[in-house]
Copies of this chain bind each other. A is one copy, B any other.
Amino acid sequence: MNRGKTPLTIDTAVLRDVVDGEWAEARRRIRDLTTDSTLHLPAEGTLEELRAATTAAVAPVAASGLTRLALPVEEGGTGRHAEYIAGFEELVTASPSLQIKAGVQFGLFGGAIMHLGNSEQHEKWLRPALDGELMGSFAMTEIGHGSDVAEVGTTATYDVEAREFVVHTPFRAATKEYIGNAARDARAAVVFAQLITRDVNHGVHAFFVPVRDEAGEPLPGITIEDDGKKGGLLGVDNGRFAFDQVRIPRGNLLTRYGSVAADGEYSSPIESPGRRFFTMLGTLVQGRVSLDGAAVVASKLALDIAVRYAHDRRQFTSTSPVEETRLIDYQRHQRRLMPLIAQTYADAISHDTLLHTFDAVFSGDDTTPEGQELLETQAAGFKALTTWNALDTIQEAREACGGAGFMAENRLVGLHADMDVYVTFEGDNTVLLQLVGKRLLTDYARELKDIDFGGAARLIGAQAAEHTLYRTGVANLGRAIGDLVTASVNDKRVRSGKVQEALLRDRVETMVATVAQALRPAQSKDKASGARLFNENQNELIEAAIAYIELLKWQGLNAEMHRIEDEGNHPEEAKAMRRLRDLFGLTLIERHMGWHLMHGRLPMARARQVGPAIDALCAKLAQNSLDLVDAFGYGPEHRRAPIADGAEAQRQDEARAYYRAARARSDWPADEKELRKRAARR
C-alpha cells in the first residue's frame, strides 16, 4: 500500500550527526561502553538482585573516566560540562536505573560537593565520590515538601560549645524521602537543612553527613527506611533518612554560599537569603538538563524498536491472499508513529541547544544573570515537555507492538515504567512550567515582576523577580500581532515554514498577553485576592508555557533543517529534515487548531488542508522510517528487543516457507485457490 513514490536515498550518517549533536563523540563512547552486558539490568530478579546489579555497574562508569570530565581543570578534570552530561544521558541504553543511580552518585552527591563545597572538602570527599568509592545520597526532598524545597523542615543548629552542627528531623513530614542510594549503598549524604546559628535561621544550606559505618550499619541517631517497590527504576535503592540530633563537625557545612565561624557568626557572599538559596539551586540544574537528554534517549530506543517491528510484522491480507500487509503500510500506523519520530528529532535537537546554554554558563563563558536564567528556563521547559513526550512515545510504541510489546523481554514496558517518574522528579513538570510561565510574564511586562501573589510567588521561583528581558523573545511583543497574521494569511502554502512559525509564535504571544492583562489588577489587590487571581489564570499560564516551549523546539528543528539545506551537499537528507520539520509543525498546529481558528488566525479552508498534509507527510516519511531510526545510532545490543531484530521476520519466513512447500506437495487444502475462495466467502 505504499503510495508509489520513491523513497529518499538517505545517508544515515548525516542524520546521525544531526541527532547526536555537538557532543556526538561522548555519546558514542558511552554507547560503546553500554554494549557490555554486565552493565545491563537483568529482566527479572528480586529487588536486591536488581539493586546489586545496578550498583556493580557504577564502578565501570567511574572507570570510564566520564565522571572526571566535569572536574575543574585545577583539580585534574577538564571542565567539559556538556560532554559530561551528554555521556551520562546515554547510560539509559544500559538502563534508566543505571543512569539515575550514577546520576545520584556522581551528578547529585558528587555535584553538590563540587559546586557547594570548598577545595579542602573537594580533597576529602569529591575524589572518592567521583571514583565511586564513597557512595552517597543527595537528601533534599522531604515527604512533606516535594517541590517547595525552601521550606524543608530539617534543621542544622550550630552548637558553639561543641563546634558542631546538630542535624535534626523535628517531625515526620520532615523525613528525607525518595532519596536515591539511601536504602542500601550510601555511606554519606549531602543533607539540605535550615541553618540556625545564634538563634537565627539563615535558610537552607547543604551539609555533609555520614550515614552508615564501614559495615553498612546506620550510624547512631540515623534512621534509614527502604522505599521498597516503586513503579520503575527498580535498580535504584530509594529510601528515607530521619535524623535524631545527629552531630557533625562545623567543617561539614558546604561553604560556597554560606559559612559559620567557630564562634557562630554567619557569613555569606550573597546577602539575600532568597537569592542565596536559588543561586545554590542553580548550580544543581545539571540534573534537570540530563533528564531532558535521557528522555530523548528513551524515546529513540522505543521508536527504534516499534519501527523495526512494524517493518517485519504483517497483519491481514490486502491485495494478495498469501502475502499480508506490513504494519508500517497502514495509514493509522503511520499516523501513530511518524509524528513521534518528528517530535523526537525536535527533542534531540532542542536538547543540544540546552547543552550549549549549559556549557556556556558552567564553563564561565557566560556569567551574566540572564545567561543563568535562560539556562533555568530552558532546562525547566524542555525537561517538562521532553519527559512527557517520552512517556507518550514509549506507550504508543508499546501499543503499536501489540501483545509482543507487553512482554518484558521487548523492553518497552520497562522503559515506560522507568521513565514514569522523570515527569515528577527533579522538578515536577507542572511546577516547572509555571516557572517558565512566570518568566514569560515578567519578560512581557516589567510591572508584573513585583506582584506578590502570596505563595504563588514561591511556587514559581524567586529569581524571576530579579531580572527581566532574559531572552524569551516575548519582550518584543510590542509589534502588532496583526503583522504575523498577515504573514500567515498571505502565504498560500500551509506547509510554509513562515506560516508555521507565525502561527506558533502568535499563539504564545497572544496567550502571554492575555494572561498578563488578566493579572494586572493583582497589583492593586491584597495578597489573598492576588493569589486568587493568579490561581484563576494558572491553567492558561501553563498552557502558554507549553506553547512557548513547543515554539522553541520547532525553531530548533527548523534551524537545523536550514543549516543542512544551506550546506547544500546533502539534498536528500535535507528533504527528509524538511518533511520532519513540516510534520512536527503541522502536528502542533493540528493539536491547537481550535485555538488558531477561535482567534481568527487561520481561514477555515486553510485549516482543512492540515489533516491531509499530515497524512501525506506520514506516508512519505514511513518509506524512510528505517533510515530515520537508524540515525538514532543504536544497535541490537542497545535495543535488546527480540522483536526488533529478526525474531518476528524469522517466524514469518518459516510460515511462508511452510505454506509454499505445502502447496507444492498439494496435500494441504488451504492452497492459494482455496484461500481466495475463503476470503471471497467472507
Contact = CB atoms under 8 A, between A and B. Distances in A.
A455 B316 contact: yes
B402 A146 contact: yes
Given A148-B316, A598-B597, A681-B272, A424 B408 contact: no
Interface stretch (A5-13, A184-192, A225-233, A244-252): A225-233
Interface in A172-220: 172-174, 177-178, 194, 196, 199-201, 203
Contact of A607 (B141, B421, B598): B598
Given A318-B455, A594-B593, A402 B424 contact: yes
A335 B593 CA distance: 20
A413 B230 contact: yes
A144 B274 contact: no
A134 interface: no
Contact of A678 (B203, B420, B657): B203
Contacts of A331: 535-539
A520 interface: no
A362 interface: no
A329 interface: yes
A201 B669 contact: yes
Given A407-B227, A527-B319, A531-B1, A682 B173 contact: no
A454 B676 CA distance: 10
Contacts of A319: 454-455, 527-528, 531
A29 interface: no
Count copies of this chain in the complex. Answer: 2
Interface in A293-340: 315-319, 324-325, 329-332, 335
A80 interface: no
Interface string A266-296: 0000001110000000000000000000000
B409 A413 contact: no
Interface centre among A227, A329, A399, A406 (most CB of B within 10 A): A406
Contacts of A403: 141, 146, 177-178, 421, 424-425
Nearest to A667: B199
A335 B458 contact: no
Contacts of A596: 594
A230 B1 contact: no
Contact of A228 (B272, B407, B425): B407
A314 B144 CA distance: 8
B430 A406 contact: no
A120 interface: no
A1 B532 contact: yes
A485 interface: no
A17 interface: no
A141 B403 CA distance: 10
Contacts of A465: 682
A162 interface: no
B417 A413 contact: yes
A637 interface: no
Interface in A592-628: 592-600, 604, 607-608, 611, 615
Contact of A406 (B200, B203, B420): B420
A143 interface: yes
A47 interface: yes
Nearest to A423: B399
A317 B454 contact: yes
Contact of A669 (B196, B228, B597): B196
A405 interface: yes
Interface in A562-618: 590, 592-600, 604, 607-608, 611, 615
A46 B227 CA distance: 18
B604 A600 contact: yes
A668 B146 CA distance: 23
A408 B421 CA distance: 12
A542 B332 contact: yes
B458 A172 contact: no
A556 interface: no
A479 to B, nearest CB: 24
Contacts of A459: 315-316
Nearest to A453: B318
Interface stretch (A64-72, A488-496, A497-505, A647-655): A647-655
A475 interface: no
A398 interface: yes
A532 B398 CA distance: 26
A406 B669 contact: no
Nearest to A417: B417
Nearest to A657: B171
A170 interface: yes
Contacts of A664: none
A231 B141 CA distance: 29
Contacts of A228: 43-44, 407-409
Given A146-B403, A172-B655, A402-B428, 16 more contacts: A44-B228, A147-B402, A172-B654, A174-B655, A203-B678, A231-B398, A231-B414, A316-B458, A318-B454, A318-B455, A331-B539, A332-B539, A391-B395, A398-B420, A406-B421, A598-B607
Interface of A: 1, 43-44, 46-47, 141, 143-148, 150, 153, 170-174, 177-178, 194, 196, 199-201, 203, 227-232, 272-274, 315-319, 324-325, 329-332, 335, 391, 395, 398-399, 402-409, 412-414, 416-417, 420-421, 423-425, 428-430, 452, 454-459, 462, 465, 527-528, 531-532, 535-540, 542, 590, 592-600, 604, 607-608, 611, 615, 651-652, 654-655, 657-658, 662, 667, 669-670, 674, 678-682
Q: Which 4 A-B pairs have the closest CB atoms?
A: A593-B594, A231-B413, A274-B682, A317-B455
29 contacts: A1-B531, A147-B315, A148-B324, A172-B651, A172-B655, A199-B667, A201-B678, A228-B407, A229-B409, A232-B406, A316-B455, A317-B454, A318-B528, A318-B531, A319-B531, A335-B539, A391-B395, A399-B423, A399-B430, A406-B420, A457-B679, A458-B679, A462-B682, A536-B615, A593-B597, A594-B596, A594-B607, A599-B604, A600-B604
